[in-house]
């Protein structure tokens, strides 16, 4: 059975799409088959996974999938991750990652929220074929509106990436409260928070203060990613939280996996997402 994780935070720019894309890569490095669903009309995850819109060869995207309102409708829109090696062949990670891509027009589905059963349309679109994957990761917008609700209705777990700042922490709490209060309304009463992942961590007194508040509120749900991990034969001790490092930004800009680099920082960043993937495999899905 595929484990479906919705990545959500009610604050923008906290690293949701970065987390979604690089977690897909981390899970693929462990040999898992991963489907990434882009439920954000910004389509950042789509682009970062190397899927480009070509007007000469239009592809189906999530707007059409949701509009179809049909069982299994997502299958026909699946496309392979576009990451390639220097010689143009798909990378070993890309071979295990598929994408349900988005475009800006996905926002047009938002106005259909009042239609009977609309919140279950994404779940319906996945019915019957998605168990070909080990994991499904759904990237969402920084709100709690209809597109995010569809993603929550289709998921087993919500993962909340957050930067350790006041507004990010408050937004993470809003997501958690929303899940407790509305899982039943989303026809998904067993939905639970799978974890709170600290991203963009900088070593400042204010961030430490916010981290302490996050731990008070979420306890064990705040993932501790620290530990020894081997990357390309080199042992790396990972930090507890995902730091603010320019390499993450560079990977997103270049639309590549962190494993595209084989330097020290490349191995350090890969090690962090290997820890994320291990945590998901062993302690969220396990």
Ligand X SMILES: Nc1ncnc2c1ncn2[C@@H]1O[C@H](COP(=O)(O)OP(=O)(O)OP(=O)(O)O)[C@@H](O)[C@H]1O
Q: How many CA atoms lie within 13 A of 187 on its CB side?
A: 13
Q: According to the binding rule CB under 6 A, does residue 58 interact with ligand X?
A: no
Q: According to the binding rule CB under 6 A, does residue 12 interact with ligand X?
A: yes
Q: Residues 242, 200: contact at Cβ < 8 Å?
A: yes
- Number of C-beta neighbours around residue 59 at 10 A: 14
Give 124 or 201: the residue with its C-beta nearer to ligand X. 201
Site string for Mg ion, 42-81 (x = CB under 5 A): --x-------------------------------------
Locate the DSSP E strands across 157-269.
Answer: 157-162, 192-198, 227-231, 234-238
Q: According to the binding rule CB under 6 A, does residue 13 interact with ligand X?
A: yes
Helix (H) or strand (E) holding 64: helix 62-68
Phi-psi region of 255 (alpha: psi -120 to 50; beta: other; left: phi over 0): left
Q: In this structure, what token pair is assigned to residue 208?
A: 């430490």
The option from ligand X, Mg ion, none interacting with 276 (CB < 5 to 8 A, set by class) reads none
Q: How far is the CB of 50 from Mg ion (least distance, A)?
A: 16
Q: According to the binding rule CB under 6 A, does residue 162 interact with ligand X?
A: no
C-alpha 168, offset from chain centre: 17
- The count of chain residues that interact with ligand X, using the rule CB under 6 A, is 19
**Considering only residues 7-26, where is the footprint of Mg ion by CB under 5 A?**
16-17
- Number of C-beta neighbours around residue 143 at 10 A: 18
- Number of C-beta neighbours around residue 229 at 10 A: 20
The option from ligand X, Mg ion, none interacting with 230 (CB < 5 to 8 A, set by class) reads none
Binds ligand X (CB under 6 A): choice among 248, 261, 274, 277: 248
DSSP summary character for residue 56: T
From 92-100, 117-125, 186-194, 245-253, span contacting ligand X (CB under 6 A): 245-253
**Considering only residues 191-210, where is the footprint of ligand X by CB under 6 A?**
199-200
The option from ligand X, Mg ion, none interacting with 12 (CB < 5 to 8 A, set by class) reads ligand X
**Considering only residues 25-44, where is the footprint of Mg ion by CB under 5 A?**
44
Rg of the Cα trace of the chain?
18
Q: According to the binding rule CB under 6 A, does residue 165 interact with ligand X?
A: no
Q: According to the binding rule CB under 6 A, does residue 249 interact with ligand X?
A: yes
**Paired sense of beta strands 234-238 and 227-231, if any:** antiparallel
**Considering only residues 125-154, where is the footprint of ligand X by CB under 6 A?**
142
214 closest CA partner among 239, 241, 193, 196:
196
Angle at 196 between CA 190 and CA 198, to 5 degrees: 165
From 30-38, 149-157, 207-215, 239-247, span contacting ligand X (CB under 6 A): 239-247
Q: According to the binding rule CB under 6 A, does residue 276 interact with ligand X?
A: no
What residues make contact with Mg ion under the rule CB under 5 A? Answer: 16-17, 44
What residues make contact with ligand X under the rule CB under 6 A? Answer: 12-18, 40, 42, 44, 142, 199-200, 242, 244-245, 248-249, 252
């Amino acid at each position: 059975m595929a484990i479906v994780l919705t990545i959500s935070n009610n604050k923008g720019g906290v690293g949701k799409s970065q987390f979604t894309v690089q977690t897909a890569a981390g899970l693929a490095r462990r040999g898992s088959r991963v489907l990434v669903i882009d439920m954000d009309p910004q389509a950042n995850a789509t682009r970062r996974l190397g899927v480009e819109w070509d007007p000469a060869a239009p592809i189906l995207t999530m707007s059409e999938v949701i509009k179809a309102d049909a069982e299994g409708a997502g299958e026909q829109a699946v496309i392979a991750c576009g990451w390639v090696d220097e010689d143009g062949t798909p990378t070993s990670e890309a071979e295990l990652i598929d994408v349900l891509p988005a475009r800006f027009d996905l926002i047009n589905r938002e106005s259909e929220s009042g239609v009977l059963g609309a919140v279950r349309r994404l779940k319906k679109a996945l019915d019957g074929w998605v168990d070909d994957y080990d994991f499904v990761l759904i990237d969402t917008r920084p709100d709690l509106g209809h597109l995010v609700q569809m993603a929550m209705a289709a998921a087993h777990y919500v993962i909340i990436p957050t930067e350790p700042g006041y507004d990010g922490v408050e937004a993470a709490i809003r997501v958690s409260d929303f899940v407790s209060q509305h899982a039943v309304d989303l026809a998904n009463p067993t939905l639970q928070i799978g974890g709170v992942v600290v991203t963009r961590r900088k070593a400042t007194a204010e961030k430490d203060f916010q981290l302490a508040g996050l731990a008070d509120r979420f306890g064990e749900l705040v993932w501790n990613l620290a530990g020894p991990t081997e990357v390309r034969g080199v042992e790396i001790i990972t930090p507890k939280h995902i730091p603010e490092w320019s390499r993450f930004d560079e990977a997103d800009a270049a639309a590549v996996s962190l494993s595209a680099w084989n330097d020290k920082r490349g191995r350090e960043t890969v090690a962090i997402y290997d820890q994320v993937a291990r945590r998901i495999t062993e302690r969220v899905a396990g």
